[in-house]
Amino acid sequence: MAEHTLTRTLQLALPIDETFRFFADAGNLERITPPELHFRITTPHPIEISKGTLIDYNLKLRGIPITWKTEISRWDPPYAFVDQALKSPYKQWIHLHTFEETSNVGTEITDEVRYRLPIEPFGDLMHWYVRKELDYIFDYRQKAVTEILSR
């Protein structure tokens, strides 16, 4: 029964308030997710995010439709928030987003995802494949965030 962790850090030359505001807009999640996942938020817009907010999504993973529901379990603007899956293909999905001011009037963004695969311990046999997919998604995400926020 393994808990896995994925961590990504990105530095942007933007103030923390502006950076956090981008991530606080749930609609931007569609913009920073690979298009082949057909990711769509199904919760009616606008979504006012705060602790306890629930957000529903649909996506396709290798053509398989997936529904996902997250809860914002921590909301600490402009420094951090956590979205935690209530319904997903994972046994556990806890995504901590942190934002830290850097000395050059920029922001360091850190994504830390703690996840567990279903059907433990057998699901862990497929971790190499799942991790490859997650690395691709989060690499795409960093590139998209950099492109969008560097304009």
Q: Say what the pLDDT of residue 69 is.
A: 98
b/e map 114-134, b = 16+ CB within 10 Å: ebbbeeeeebbeeeeebeeeb
Q: Say what the pLDDT of residue 1 is.
A: 61
Count of structural domains within the chain: 1
Q: Say what the pLDDT of residue 62 is.
A: 81
Domain holding 77: CATH number? 3.30.530.20
Domain that holds residue 97: 4-149
What is the chain's pLDDT, residue by residue, as a tens digit (151 residues)?
699 999 999 999 999 999 999 999 999 999 999 999 999 999 999 999 999 999 999 999 888 999 999 999 999 999 999 999 999 999 999 999 999 999 887 999 999 999 999 987 777 888 888 999 999 999 999 999 999 998 7
Q: Say what the pLDDT of residue 132 is.
A: 95
pTM of the predicted model, to two decimals?
0.93
**How many angstroms from the chain centroid is the CA of residue 121?**
25
What are the E-state strand segments in the chain? Answer: 4-12, 40-41, 54-61, 64-76, 80-87, 92-102, 106-116
